[in-house]
Structure 1
Amino acid sequence: MRRRVLLLTTALAAIAVAACSIAIYVVTEDALRAQIAERVERNAAKLAVSSSTQMSPNALGFANDGTGPMRVAMITAAGEFIAQDGSTEPFLTESGQMSTSLQPLVRGETGQVSTEADGFLMCGITAVGGDIVLVAEPESTMAPTMHTLVVWLSALGGLLILLAAAVGAAAAGIGLRPVERLTRATRRVASMGDLTPITVTGKDELAQLAVGFNAMLRALDSSRARQSQLVVDAGAELQAPLTALRTNIELLIAVQAEGGPGLDRATEAALRTDVLDQLDELTGRIHRLVEDAREASPQAMSS
């Protein structure tokens, strides 16, 4: 039982730690993603405010403020696509078409688009001069922070599980002491016949079980005492008739033996009759003792 309690406690602790770790991981990941999206929108807004039709690729560089590997590009009012580092990812597809999520911005259906595509968080804003400023940052910038978080959560989770196992072992040791006392008592009764009651502490279910066990021990002790008394009573009850019967039988044997003392026929017949009467009396006493034992058995059980 101790092992089962320990395993149950450890399993519950592991489930709780895993659930909390997953929740922390998800919340942290969402928070970091929100920070990246905010940074992308902020830098796109800076470019949109300062943009003009004369903007060159080098002028786009100030959008990358050193907080991450940002991708910056623009679409001029004339429709020319200009990328800061010459890379079209993630704004254009491999076939050279504008990303589907940015097409409403190009068609003039909206003035700003914030979206997530191909592992990038992107923001596009149409400037006053008609230029479209595009800023993107890969979600992979979260990887170092998330890796560090996983390491810390794993270490802390393992520590908490070990702590829960230690607490579970201590609680099982304390909580199962009454059961251990009952186990030792049953072994003592089985091996030594010792019916000494065990100590009862508390008022919980285990304490009530110990009280019931002590009542059983008292019943067994009472039954043992009744059996001992029955043996004593049987010995006292049968001793006198057995002694008289043995004396008369020995006398009959001596009379019938060759060279034994002679008795007249009347005395010998009376002796034989006395032996039969004593046998009947002995038989009656034995029946009476058996009946008394049968009556005492349910009384011992009920007590």
Structure 2
Amino acid sequence: MSNGDKTTGSAWTGLHYRRSLASRVTLLTTVAVGFAVSVVAFAAYATVRTQTINSLDESLRSRANQAASRDTLDVLAEQRIPSWALGAADVKIIFINASTNPAFLQSADTSDTFGLGRTEIRVARGLEEDSARTVYAAGERWRVVAVNAGEDQALVLAQSLESTDRMLDRLGLVMLLFGIAGMIIAGLAGWAVARNGLRPVRRLTASVEAIARTQRLEPIPIEGSDEVARLASAFNEMLRALAASQHRQRQLVADAGHELRTPLTSLRTNLDLLVQADAQAGLSAESRAELLDDVRGQINEMTTLIGDLVELAREEPVTPTVEPVELTAVVQQAITRVRRRADIEFNVRMAPWWVTGDADALERAVTNLLDNAAKWSPAGGTVTVTLHEGTLMVGDEGPGIALQDLPHVFERFYRSTESRSMPGSGLGLSIVRSVAERHGGIVRAGTGPGGGAGFWFSVPGSSVPPTDNDREVLVGS
């Protein structure tokens, strides 16, 4: 397509979509009805015209056959008796004698033979039984019918088409007027149908505009069960999802502010003590070291909290790396990391399991489960870790999870009464659930084999490592 064609097409598309839906419905209705009326009018006009000409031909042919059967045809031809004397005042009679060369043509009324020629001579010579055609003579259109009247003779009747043409012209004018009237009525009807039919759409549009203006995510009233009602229902579903997302965002901000307030207050208090002690020179080295360790711990806690908030604030990782991951290696790395900072033992039993996903996210989720188990286990206790057919179980020897807390352990910032005095932000298990769902898996909590808390983290995969073909498909996807 040339640049000019593209420009024209773009302009037409823009013009088409700048028109309102009601105007497009009206225009399409008018065009459709106009086309249908035109086709019907043309078909009716052609049918009437054909039937009128055929009826005229049959009338002329019948009269010509009756006249040609008389024995006095030669006498009539020789005496040039006018057509009105033969009961044919509305036609002209012509006699053809094809025995001579050239053929002898004689009109009973005038010397005008209406341009007769080879077609009528063929009828006179018996090559054709009869003929009918339209000729132009004396500025008029004539319908000429010729019938065989004996050996080398033919009788021709010619009738003017002036009255027929006037009738057809009037018929065409009437059909044109009716067609125009039909198009106008169709346009008005299309406009009325579009206006009334699109009234629910206008109400829906007004409701949506009101929601966009006021930002009040209230459901739209639904009337009926048609397509507009389905659209309104779908929009209400979107509003509910948007309201839930907005509520989660506000709750996240509120909870984050509440959780950050405590370490920030403690951090500010400790810094104020350090400043006052430096000013008064009355703080011992041990007290200073203790305060600095406290400040360092609070900074680490805030860093962890901010990292967890960033992880939960996004639906997907910023740069996800999807690849085959051996879950046993991920669990082993997480155990090594947690063992460095916790005085506990790990009882590990694992079977190979390959997962397609993000290795970093999986390691973070497993680390959070192990950190949670280490936090609740007594000093020198044992954390049980098993991996069997894609289900990772982490159990501790702590007090376990209370029944009233069990439904809420994976909620953001949820902390039981016992855990409020312990370090943590209440986001670790929420991250575990988010990672599990992102990998098509699930996580659940309960009582572990050691009587403490138990967590089961399941993700789909396979015990067989992927082949080279599987890796190529994974990379291509």
TM-score, normalised relative to structure 1: 0.77
Deviations 1:92-136 (A, max 9, x none): 3xxxxxx222224433567x6242142543334566999754211
1:197 matched to 2:219? The reply is yes
Q: Which moved more, 1:213-222 or 1:188-197?
A: 188-197
1:113 matched to 2:134? The reply is no
Q: Which moved more, 1:28-37 or 1:131-140?
A: 131-140
Indicate if the aligned counterparts of 2:146 and 2:156 stay in contact, CA closer than 8 A. yes
Deviations 1:63-83 (A, max 9, x none): 5756x5x32223579976432
SS in 2 for 1:121: strand
Q: 1:36 to 1:75 in 2, by over 3 A?
A: same
Indicate if the aligned counterparts of 1:255 and 1:262 stay in contact, CA closer than 8 A. yes
1:252 matched to 2:293? The reply is no
Name the CA distance, whole Å, in 1 between partners of 2:248 and 2:147: 102
Give runs of aligned pairs for residues 200-219 of structure 1, distance below 5 A.
Answer: 200-219=222-241
Match of 2:185 in 1: 163
Q: 1:77 to 1:223 in 2, by over 3 A?
A: closer
Name the CA distance, whole Å, in 1 between partners of 2:69 and 2:23: 68
1:134 alignment partner, one of 156, 162, 175: 156
Q: 1:101 to 1:77 in 2, by over 3 A?
A: closer
Q: Which letter maps to 2:237?
A: A
Match of 1:152 in 2: 174
1:85 matched to 2:109? The reply is yes
Q: Which moved more, 1:147-156 or 1:124-133?
A: 124-133
1:263 matched to 2:283? The reply is yes
Q: Which letter maps to 1:44?
A: A
Indicate if the aligned counterparts of 1:2 and 1:172 stay in contact, CA closer than 8 A. yes
1:44 matched to 2:64? The reply is yes
SS in 1 for 2:268: helix
1:14 matched to 2:42? The reply is no
Q: Which moved more, 1:170-179 or 1:71-80?
A: 71-80
2:80 alignment partner, one of 43, 52, 57: 57
Alpha-carbon distance, 1:44 to partner: 2.7
Q: Which moved more, 1:74-83 or 1:158-167?
A: 74-83
Name the CA distance, whole Å, in 1 between partners of 2:262 and 2:186: 73
Match of 1:72 in 2: 93
Percent identity between the two aligned chains = 31
1:27 matched to 2:32? The reply is no
Alpha-carbon distance, 1:197 to partner: 2.2
Structure number with higher relative contact order (C-alpha < 8 Å, ≥ 6 residues apart): 1
Indicate if the aligned counterparts of 2:26 and 2:187 stay in contact, CA closer than 8 A. yes
SS in 2 for 1:195: coil
Deviations 1:189-234 (A, max 9, x none): 5444332222333434443333222211110000001111111111
* Unmatched runs of 5 consecutive residues or more in structure 1: 93-98
Aligned residues: 288
Q: Which letter maps to 1:239?
A: R
SS in 1 for 2:183: helix
Alpha-carbon distance, 1:5 to partner: 2.8
Name the CA distance, whole Å, in 1 between partners of 2:217 and 2:31: 40
Q: Which letter maps to 2:171?
A: L
Indicate if the aligned counterparts of 1:101 and 1:115 stay in contact, CA closer than 8 A. no
Q: 1:51 to 1:240 in 2, by over 3 A?
A: same
Deviations 1:242-298 (A, max 9, x none): 1222122223223334xx473344433333333223223333333344444455997
Indicate if the aligned counterparts of 2:94 and 2:113 stay in contact, CA closer than 8 A. no
SS in 2 for 1:72: strand
Name the CA distance, whole Å, in 2 between partners of 1:266 and 1:128: 148
Q: 1:129 to 1:265 in 2, by over 3 A?
A: closer
Name the CA distance, whole Å, in 2 between partners of 1:35 and 1:22: 20
Q: 1:245 to 1:86 in 2, by over 3 A?
A: same
Indicate if the aligned counterparts of 2:124 and 2:151 stay in contact, CA closer than 8 A. no
Bigger strand share? 2
Match of 1:231 in 2: 253
Indicate if the aligned counterparts of 1:51 and 1:131 stay in contact, CA closer than 8 A. no
Alpha-carbon distance, 1:46 to partner: 5.3
Bigger helix share? 1
What RMSD over aligned residues (CA atoms) do the two structures have, in Å?
Answer: 3.5
2:119 alignment partner, one of 101, 108, 113: 101
Match of 2:471 in 1: none
* Unmatched runs of 5 consecutive residues or more in structure 2: 1-20, 137-141, 315-429, 438-477
Q: 1:273 to 1:38 in 2, by over 3 A?
A: same
Deviations 1:47-78 (A, max 9, x none): 44667244333442245756x5x322235799
Alpha-carbon distance, 1:142 to partner: 2.0
Match of 1:5 in 2: 25
Name the CA distance, whole Å, in 2 between partners of 1:166 and 1:148: 27
